[in-house]
Amino acid sequence: MDFPIFFLDFFGNRMLIAVIASVHVFISHGLAVGAYPVVTLLEWRGWRKKSEEWDNLAYKITFVLFIVTTSVGALTGVGIWLSTSLIAPFGIGSLLRIFFWAWFVEWFVFVIEVVLIVIYFLTWKRWKEGAKKKLHIGFGAFLSAFSWITMVIITAILGFMMGSGVWPESRSLFSAIANPLYLPQLAFRTSYAMIISGLLTWFLIFFFTKRGTDFRRRAVRFASTWILAWVPLFVVGSFWYWNKAPEAMRANIDVALLTQRFAQWHETLALIIAVAVIAIVIVALVGVIRPRMIPGIALLIPLVLGVWLLGHFERVREFIRKPYIIADYMYSNGVTVSELQVFQRDGILPYATYVRNQNVTDNNMVEAGRDVFLVTCTRCHTTTGINGVVSKFNNLYGEESWDESAMTALIHTMHISRTFMPPFPGNDREAEALTAYLRSLRSNPELILDAHAGWARRSSSGTPSMAGADGRKR
Ligand code: HEC
């Protein structure tokens, strides 16, 4: 079977993963790992003080968590798998092989977590009295521990992607988990999750309690204390994490925080981030000392800031590990470090399964160039959409003069000055073909559409190719 590589032109492949993953990160951190301890504490407080008010607030928040985590949360979790296996099958495939049992356990724990969430919420009104209420609170504590364990496991895999440590040589699971980024990242993510859940609690207090009441003040004080309690670990975790990040990654930070064009603004952005964090801490301080003084708006905005910060953090983490998808082992385009030289000698097309042209000839330059583009650039670039390659070349050369030999030479050397791009995994002929495709794309944007249509027609009669289990020719 011969079908095109998954390519979402305009929106961009990496944007698709980014959107799904960012929503998931917010829910998994803020509405699961961080939030269940908060509602359990609230419930416990209500029980100890024999107060319906606290219990009701806890129940209402849990209702929101229940709906969101079991729907959007679960769907985006599966969505990450779907999108990554379409867009980066070699990357996710390698991680699966390395972490098979770890991931097996992760899924097992995850399913249990969902079951616990369902039980915790649905038994709330029934297990109200005496020993049953105690059991219910214990259940909440158990659920909180379980959702944290999902983070303990997944952080090992995320850390591995940033710094694989001695794994490329030793190839042992233990060396993959015991990497220097693990504990700092866990400290950072745990405290972050707890703080986000505190911001979410502020947000929901605005809707679930009445303005000006004594109960709102007490609830605000509770959430503010919770947030402040996690700030020290958050500060330590952030610095520790940053210091453990490999030097090569830190060099990417200016483009990672914004884009190349706005890179010189990265310090301004860093300042804005610092101010946002400090503003949240100040609101929390006032919330503890003088909860009466906190206006409604100050309960709502911090969550928006928190979501933005979390999204930005994930962007930076994803970006600074470029050009790798798995540090020192596999580049972001799915080519492993050990394959690179072979591809640069023989070309990548002869080894690629899902392409029409397995070789570059004088007659198929543009067509084969399109194949090269699909295999080597589309993990990160579109043609004319988000991070579109045409506008990148326009920025470099202007719209008029796209010099052929200069472009071909640039393709081979781009990665040296733009450290976020992997080395071009093809030979000279393929670089020429890619240039031909890009040039024809510029002079005739309709070619994008034509090429797509032609592609679909021809590939239905394409010859079957020999694919290995991972979709790569052996
Ligand atoms: C790992 C992801 C990735 C891959 C793969 C990749 N690029 Fe890029 N490329 C980027 C990023 C990120 C930028 C900078 C975007 C920005 O901030 O403006 C960039 C920038 C560029 C630029 C502009 C450079 C400059 O200095 O202005 C060109 C040209 C370019 N890429 C071409 C290509 C071509 C051709 C390929 C395929 C052979 C490719 N890229 C593969 C991520 C990638």
Residue 377 CB less than 6 A away from ligand 1: yes
């509405």: which residue's tokens? 31
Contact 309, 276 (CB under 8 A): yes
> Is the CB of residue 2 less than 8 Å from the CB of residue 54?
no
For residue 472 and ligand 1, the question of a CB distance below 6 A is answered with no
The closest of 200, 220, 209, 210 to 288, measured between CA atoms, is 220
> How confident is residue 30, by pLDDT bands cut at 50, 70 and 90?
very high
Span 93-115, average pLDDT: 89
Q: What value does the mean pLDDT take over residues 247-275? A: 81
Q: For ligand 1, is residue 424 a contact (CB within 6 Å)?
A: yes
pLDDT computed for residue 290 by the predictor: 96
Ligand 1 center from residue 380 Cα (angstroms): 7
What's the mean per-residue pLDDT of the chain? 87
Buried-exposed string 281-305: b where 16+ CB fall within 10 A, e elsewhere: bebbebbbeebeebeeebbebbbeb
The residue whose C-alpha atom lies closest to atom 37 belonging to ligand 1 is 377
Separation in Å, CA 109 to CA 96, 105, 412 = 17, 6, 46
Supply 289's token pair: 């000392």
Per-residue model confidence as pLDDT tens digits over 201-251: 999 999 999 999 999 999 999 999 999 999 999 999 999 998 988 887 777
pLDDT of residue 260: 77
Is residue 455 predicted with pLDDT exceeding 60? no
Residue 370 CB–ligand 1 contact under 6 Å: no
Q: Is the CB of 406 under 6 A from ligand 1?
A: no
- Residue 387 CA: nearest ligand 1 atom is 15
In the predicted model, is pLDDT for residue 446 greater than 70? no
Mean pLDDT for 278-287 is: 96
The per-residue pLDDT for 459 is 37
Neighbours of 94 (CB within 10 A): 18
255 CB near ligand 1 (under 6 Å): yes
pLDDT tens-digit series, residues 344-381: 999 999 999 878 899 999 999 999 999 999 999 998 89
Q: Residue with the nearest Cα to atom 32 of ligand 1? A: 389
Q: What is the mean pLDDT of residues 38-42?
A: 98
pLDDT at site 447: 58
- Cβ of 444 closer than 6 Å to ligand 1, yes or no, is no
